[in-house]
Amino acid sequence: QVQLVESGGGLVQAGGSLRLSCAASGRTFSTYAMGWFRQAPGKEREPVSAISQSGGITNYADSVKGRFTISRDNAKNTVYLQMNSLKPEDTAVYYCAADRVDWYERRRRPLEYEYDYWGQGTQVTVSS
C-alpha cells in the first residue's frame, strides 16, 4: 500500500510559477512510475506528466510541454512538478498517482486506469 500526499498548490498570477510535491509513504517508492494529472471544473481528469521509476524517461501533455518539468527524488520518496509560465487554463486540482508496473515493461507511459494509487489532490488557481 502506498499513500500519496500532494502539496504546493495555491493561487498565482498568470506567468508565475509553482512547484508541486507528492510525498509517498513506504520503502518501495523507486519501484513505481509516477504521474501527475489534473481536473478542471466541469472537465474530465487529464494526464499532465509522467516519469519512469528511475527518472530517466518523462512524458508531457502537449499543453504543458516547455513549461512544466517533472522530476523525482527516490531518496526522499517524492515526485515534483515544476510549473512555470502558468496560464489561467492551468487552473485545476492536481493529482499524483503511482503505477507498480515497470515503465520499460509497458514501453509507454501508464494510462489513467493503470495507476494503482492516487493522492487527494492539491488546488492550483491561476489568475489572469
pLDDT of residue 99: 96
What pLDDT is attached to residue 26? Answer: 81
- Closest C-alpha to 30, from 60, 53, 50: 53
pLDDT tens track for 62-95: 999 999 999 999 999 999 999 999 999 999 999 9
- Strands of 9-114, DSSP E: 10-13, 18-24, 33-39, 46-51, 58-60, 68-73, 78-83, 92-99
pLDDT of residue 31: 96
Q: What is the pLDDT of residues 101-120, one digit of tens each?
A: 999 899 999 999 999 999 99
The amino acid occupying position 11 is L
Residue 124, strand partner residues: 10, 92
Q: Kindly compute the dihedral angle of the four CA atoms of residues 85, 92, 35, 120, in this order, to the nearest 10 degrees.
A: 140
pLDDT of residue 93: 98
Q: What tens digit of pLDDT does each residue of 22-59 get? A: 999 988 999 999 999 999 999 999 999 999 999 999 99
Largest CA distance in the chain: 42
